[in-house]
Amino acid sequence: MRKFILAVERISTWSGKLFAWLVIVLMLVVSVEVFKRYILSAPTAWIFDLDAMLYGSLFMLCGAYALAHDAHVRGDFLYGRWRPRTQAWLDLVLYILFFLAGIMALIKAGIDFASISWKIGERSNVTADGPPVYHFKSVIPIAGALVMLQGLAEMARCVICIRTGEWPARIQDVEEIDVVEEQLAHSEFVDEESRRAAAAAVKEI
């Protein structure tokens, strides 16, 4: 079971890093369009559609990565105080009741949307000469499948925690820089005790 979890997390991490490059593509598209629109006075009619499709693809395709690294927003003012087994039981029940049905519906609807879109050669109706959207709609079932696979790994993680009383370790990746601790480390006006107290307070948030 641990091998399954690790394999799925590697897939989710790899796919998240790959699709994260869409941010660069989106930035370049927006920058070029700003230059064309305001410097050359030659705006592109379908650029809004392309921006939306790029951002939507980025948002959906990186969902499995966020789930694999426990990066989704969680209201844990109560959850964080519970024992790991209690957390695991709650997570498992919620995955079974809501996650599986919701993601299965997303995949089914996504397949239907993409299939119809490809058949009719659907184009965007936001602009007069909108770009094709069938390739974008194909992203929906693909993203759903990635999230579903990671969700099954999360359920396996819950089962392990229920058995052992401890959460299995997650695959490690780049983490956010602790800005507060980094700034205090170079401050000449904060003593060591205050620095440690501030860093500890930040970690509890």
* pLDDT by 10s per residue, the chain, length 205: 889 999 999 999 999 999 999 999 999 999 999 999 999 999 888 888 999 999 999 999 999 999 999 888 777 678 878 899 999 999 999 999 999 999 999 999 999 999 999 999 999 888 777 889 999 999 999 999 999 999 999 999 999 999 999 999 888 765 555 555 666 666 666 667 776 777 676 666 5
Same domain, 194 and 103: no
Same domain, 87 and 181: no
Q: Is 177 left (phi over 0), alpha (psi -120 to 50) or beta?
A: beta
| C-alpha–C-alpha distance, residues 162 and 151, integer Å | 17
Same domain, 49 and 108: yes
Same domain, 124 and 193: no
**Predicted structure pTM score:** 0.80
Same domain, 126 and 155: yes
Give me the number of domains the chain comprises.
2
Query: What pLDDT, on a 0 to 100 scale, did the predictor assign at position 152?
Result: 97
Same domain, 137 and 181: no
Nearest to 88 by CA among 9, 162, 181, 164: 162
Same domain, 132 and 182: no
Domain that holds residue 200: 177-205
Same domain, 51 and 10: yes
Query: What pLDDT, on a 0 to 100 scale, did the predictor assign at position 144?
Result: 97
Same domain, 108 and 193: no
Query: What pLDDT, on a 0 to 100 scale, did the predictor assign at position 202?
Result: 61
Contact, 153 vs 9, CB < 8 A? yes
| C-alpha–C-alpha distance, residues 172 and 69, integer Å | 8
Same domain, 160 and 199: no
Query: What pLDDT, on a 0 to 100 scale, did the predictor assign at position 173?
Result: 65
Query: What pLDDT, on a 0 to 100 scale, did the predictor assign at position 175?
Result: 56
Same domain, 28 and 47: yes
Hey, is 132 helix, strand or coil? strand
Query: What pLDDT, on a 0 to 100 scale, did the predictor assign at position 128?
Result: 73
Same domain, 89 and 184: no
Query: What pLDDT, on a 0 to 100 scale, did the predictor assign at position 79?
Result: 80
Q: Which class for 65: exposed (0-12), middle (13-18), buried (19 or more C-beta within 10 A)?
A: buried
Measured CA to CA in angstroms, residue 202 lies from 17, 34, 76, 83, 197 at distances of 28, 39, 16, 22, 9
Hey, is 54 helix, strand or coil? helix
